[in-house]
């Protein structure tokens, strides 16, 4: 059976590396963990993964990124993949953007940077349980 995909999107490599390491420690080889350095790259990757038959499960995205902001990215991703669990992880998100993502992208959770790894894993697990229900 194909592993589901967890996608982390952030313009800072150090953040992506930390997220990938934390998620690997928490979930082992249960999921395929992928990363993208921009919203545009993430949208392309989501399409490629879907075309290859992968099950997209979770997106963890920063808000403040060059080009497209995280709320707009999550709204676009939601339009194509509405069942994906969407989590925003940011130190600088505007409350209006978070509210917009909740309304228009079905945002599951918002976590502030610096984040707590246990809270992130708990949020992902909760989102996956709600998705399966």
Q: Which domains does the chain have, with CATH numbers?
A: 4-132 (3.40.50.2300)
Q: What mean pLDDT, rounded, does the chain reach? A: 95
pLDDT at 12 over 90: yes
Instruction: For 8, list phi and psi in degrees, rounded to 5.
Output: -110, 130
Per-residue pLDDT, averaged over 23-44, amounts to: 96
In the structure, what pLDDT confidence band is assigned to residue 132 with cuts at 50, 70 and 90? confident
CA distances (Å), 106 to each of 12, 17, 29, 44, 74, in order? Answer: 25, 26, 27, 20, 9
pLDDT at 39 over 70: yes
Question: Do the Cβ atoms of 8 and 65 come closer than 8 Å?
Answer: no
This prediction's pTM? 0.96
């Amino acid at each position: 059976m194909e592993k589901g995909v967890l996608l982390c999107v952030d313009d800072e490599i150090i953040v992506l590396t930390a997220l990938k390491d934390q998620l690997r420690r928490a979930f082992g080889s249960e999921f395929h963990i992928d990363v993208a350095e921009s919203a545009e790259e993430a949208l392309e990757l989501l399409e490629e993964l879907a075309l290859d038959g992968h099950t997209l499960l979770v997106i963890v995205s920063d808000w403040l990124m060059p080009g497209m902001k995280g709320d707009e990215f999550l709204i676009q991703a939601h339009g194509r993949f509405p069942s994906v669990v969407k989590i925003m992880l940011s130190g600088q998100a505007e409350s209006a953007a978070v509210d917009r993502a909740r309304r228009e992208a079905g945002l599951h959770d918002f976590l502030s940077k610096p984040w707590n790894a246990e809270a992130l894993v708990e949020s992902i697990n909760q989102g996956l349980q709600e998705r399966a229900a």
